[in-house]
């Protein structure tokens, strides 16, 4: 259950980063130069979607099934949920 909560948090973080990129890219550059922030947010987003992109890279065909996007989004969230839960458990074992 904790993994699902962490996975949901990872998905929310991905949506938040995507929203920040969208918001920052729509502010006029003459008002505030946010190119550095946008580049940083895109790098963070690339890290967050790395498991999904890896699985898409392994897909051998050009035509992918319609449900694959949803399945890969769930896989991406679960992969980060497992990773973060594992890190948290190791950290608790080391510090307690």
Q: Print pLDDT tens along the chain (96 aa).
A: 556 666 677 778 888 889 999 999 998 888 888 899 999 999 999 988 888 888 778 776 666 677 877 888 888 888 888 888 888 888 888 887
Query: How buried is 82 (Cβ within 10 angstroms: 0-12 exposed, 13-18 middle, 19+ buried)?
Result: middle
Which residue segment(s) compose the domain that 70 sits in?
Answer: 2-95
Cα(35)–Cα(55) distance, rounded to whole angstroms? 30
pTM of this structure: 0.65
Q: How many domains does the chain have?
A: 1
pLDDT, residue 22, reads 93
């Amino acid at each position: 259950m904790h993994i699902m909560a962490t996975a949901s948090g990872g998905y929310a973080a991905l949506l938040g980063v995507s929203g920040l990129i969208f918001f920052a890219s729509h502010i006029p550059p003459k008002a505030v130069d946010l190119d550095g922030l946008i580049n940083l947010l895109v790098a963070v987003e690339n890290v967050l979607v790395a498991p999904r992109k890896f699985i898409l890279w392994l897909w051998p065909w050009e035509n992918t099934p319609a449900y694959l996007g949803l399945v890969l989004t769930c896989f991406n969230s679960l992969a980060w949920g497992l990773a973060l839960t594992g890190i948290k458990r190791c950290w608790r074992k080391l510090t307690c």
